[in-house]
Structure 1
Amino acid sequence: MSEQVQVTLHEAKSQLLQLGARAWQGDRVVITKAGMPYLDLLPHVDTPQTRKPGRLKEKIRMSTDFDRTPEDIIEGVAGRL
């Protein structure tokens, strides 16, 4: 179960490694400045790569009949309906 940890900016400077470990374990770490919430310490999450259209151009080949269904498959499906 996660808990909330609240530390001052000065405390955070000296305890950064421990606070980072707690954030990774799921605790919510709030760093305060002048008694007010100032920063939330969160674990890093990779952002997905943005899609680049055309990056596989010339690398994928499809046969000219890729969208034709063979007759034996059509007959097999039609026979079961």
Structure 2
Amino acid sequence: MEEARQYNVHDAKTHLSHIPEQVATGEEVVISEAGEPVARVVPLHARVRRAGRGSLQGQIHIREDFDGLPDDLADTFGMR
């Protein structure tokens, strides 16, 4: 794994507009104070964008016998 880029607090303030760009590409950024790491900036997981209802219509096929159980399982559960 690649080592995280590190900034001291002063440099982090100076480069603040670039830090989100670096993090968005998957980099981690560590911010240090007096040589000691105090914070780590990491990318957030992207939000799942859900399409509207019916957006997969015609792309998924469910077989007619989807709910049917094989005979041996139906017997096991007393369904026959």
Aligned twin of 1:27: 27
Residues 30, 38 of structure 2: 8 Å contact kept: yes
C-alpha displacement at 1:38, in angstroms? Answer: 0.6
Aligned twin of 1:11: 11
CA RMSD, Structure 1 to Structure 2 (Å): 3.0
C-alpha displacement at 1:29, in angstroms? Answer: 0.3
Aligned twin of 2:65: none
Larger CA Rg, structure 1 vs 2: 1
How has the CA–CA distance of structure 1 residues 27 and 4 changed in structure 2, closer, same or farther, with 3 Å as cutoff? same
Aligned twin of 1:36: 36
TM-score, length basis structure 1: 0.50
SS in 2 for 1:16: coil
Runs of 4+ in 1 over 6 A off after TM superposition: none
Q: Greater helix share, 1 or 2?
A: 1
Residues 29, 42 of structure 1: 8 Å contact kept: yes
Q: % of aligned pairs identical?
A: 29
TM-score, length basis structure 2: 0.50
Residues 31, 37 of structure 1: 8 Å contact kept: yes
